[in-house]
Amino acid sequence: MAKPTFQVPELQEYLEIPSVTPGTMAHSKPFYSKPEFQKPLGFPEELVDNWQEKAIVKMGELLTKYKSVQVFLDACVKCGSCTDKCHYYIGTGDPKNMPVARQDLLRKVYRRYFTFAGKYFPSLVGATDLTKEVLDDWYSYFHQCSQCRRCSVFCPYGIDTAEISMFARELMDHIGVGQKYCNEIICKVHKIGNNLGLPGPALADTLEGLEEDVLDDTGVDVKFPLDQEGSEILLVTPSADFFAEPHVDGLVGYAKVFHEAGVSWTLSTEASEAANFGMFIGSYENMRKISQRVRKAAKDLKVKRIVFGECGHAWRVAYSFLNTLAGPWEFLDPNYPVPQHICEFTWNLIQEGKLKFDKSQNDDMVLTFHDSCNVARASRMGADPGGQFEIPRNVIKAVCNNYQDMDADTIKERTFCCGGGGGLLTDDLMELRVKGAKPRMEALNNVIKDKGVTHMAAICAICKSQFTKVLPYYGMDMSQIVSVHQLVSNAIVLTGQTDQ
């Protein structure tokens, strides 16, 4: 771990709401995008001339497209419910990280140009002109929102700050102010097929290596098929599953489950990415273009079902938007959900008694589960309400003897973001990421102390990478974050297995 250049928050026994320190995170902003990452996404290469005028025109356009945002901007009564709910406010004390204040950055400009009172009596209704100073604030503070939607759970009007932050980012992209991390990655997906820029031959080589590893470990020839036409299932998973730890251990788990289920499956080079950063930047067009790759892969490979791997926001896009973005899916088998989550797939097999486990293989760990925001608050899983909370826990409990939940105010629909979601998982925002992780780290630390928890499992590539990075800042070890299907992989007993 690098030495921090900022103060790492101290973990407390109880959640402490900090007093307000204005401007304490005003310096925080990610690297700006570059011309070569703007153009392929359909955005101007740099800040355009007469950008104020163009921004207001675009804002008007977007307001007619996204009526919800206009309702959110009009409905707030400043009740204060959201003020202490954001992990970035709790971690930094910067009042502009209170969700209502973050919304107000956009709201005050909306009022100035789109409401009667704001046009004629701006100072009476907190309306302001769109100045360079306001734009700089937008860039800074709309990149201090991970679009986790925790605040919206507590808002009596259901105002969704995530949608407002997506709206603001879309607006900025359209006047040539993009964020490097997201836009570079989206370029790579359009060009190569995944966030990493992992070309087909490298992916094939990586998968071959994993086949060798599993054969060495178990004596069973578990396949990791790529571009296998006519397979039953297309697995769409975050490219981090091919590349990083502990993600790859989850991928090994999926492969073992498919193997034991006796179902044919394949990965695809065309759709070698579940993530869809088009959502983070609020760009419907880019989100659609990325989703279309999944459709093309499913058609070309003539699969009957689509299963998504462990990726939080990808599951939101898949569960909530995929039909609009890339449907209809009339060519898939209607007996299965389109798409299905890997946890649901595994849980169904467990219930049918088709998988055999030796739970003692996970006895060196006491697990807890981190609900990822986009799974918890923006989707469901399986047939029953709350399935997105219960199914991953059921899978963990089916393969582990020791499980403990974290504090009830920090899990399920009240879960705290890992601190790195929403397109903020970049090294140039490390201070924000570490501070934003504080509430989650606190809840984890408390179950470590009180309930003997040793490891935390997650079903999101961003969460896993974020925790790998931030755990050491809080005196914990990076290996304490694990994939849910890594636990499945440890415990599953493969038919014909020689060695445990």
Binding site for another protein (CB under 8 A): 1-2, 31, 180-181, 184-185, 188, 194-199, 201-202, 205-206, 209-210, 213, 238-240, 242-245, 247-248, 275, 311, 425, 427-428, 461-462, 464-465, 478
Return all residues near 8 (Cβ < 8 A) that are at least 6 apart: 434, 435, 473, 474
CB nearer another protein, residue 257 or residue 424: 424
- In the complex, the smallest distance separating the C-beta of residue 292 from another protein, rounded to whole angstroms, is 20
Element counts in the chain: helices (H) and strands (E): 23, 7
Tokens of 266: 């394949």
Burial class (CB in 10 A: 0-12, 13-18, 19+), 32: middle
What is the C-alpha separation between 411 and 417, in angstroms, rounded?
10
CB nearer another protein, residue 364 or residue 450: 364
- In the complex, the smallest distance separating the C-beta of residue 45 from another protein, rounded to whole angstroms, is 16
Residue 223: how many CB atoms within 10 A of its CB?
A: 16
CB nearer another protein, residue 103 or residue 468: 468
What is the C-alpha separation between 155 and 157, in angstroms, rounded?
5
Strand order in the sheet with 340-341: 265-266, 233-236, 305-308, 340-341
- In the complex, the smallest distance separating the C-beta of residue 30 from another protein, rounded to whole angstroms, is 10
Query: Taking Cα atoms as reference points, which of 172, 176, 166 lies closest to residue 43?
Result: 176
- In the complex, the smallest distance separating the C-beta of residue 298 from another protein, rounded to whole angstroms, is 22
Q: What Cα–Cα distance (Å) separates residue 218 from each residue in 179, 213, 253, 361, 363?
A: 45, 9, 13, 14, 19
- In the complex, the smallest distance separating the C-beta of residue 265 from another protein, rounded to whole angstroms, is 20
- In the complex, the smallest distance separating the C-beta of residue 64 from another protein, rounded to whole angstroms, is 34
CB nearer another protein, residue 100 or residue 476: 476
CB nearer another protein, residue 350 or residue 488: 488
CB nearer another protein, residue 152 or residue 194: 194
Give percent helix, percent strand, percent coil of the chain, each to the nearest 5: 55, 5, 40
- In the complex, the smallest distance separating the C-beta of residue 209 from another protein, rounded to whole angstroms, is 6
- In the complex, the smallest distance separating the C-beta of residue 320 from another protein, rounded to whole angstroms, is 20
Q: What Cα–Cα distance (Å) separates residue 173 from each residue in 36, 142, 469?
A: 13, 12, 29
- In the complex, the smallest distance separating the C-beta of residue 339 from another protein, rounded to whole angstroms, is 19
CB nearer another protein, residue 314 or residue 332: 314
Burial class (CB in 10 A: 0-12, 13-18, 19+), 81: middle
Query: Taking Cα atoms as reference points, which of 291, 325, 324 lies closest to residue 308?
Result: 291
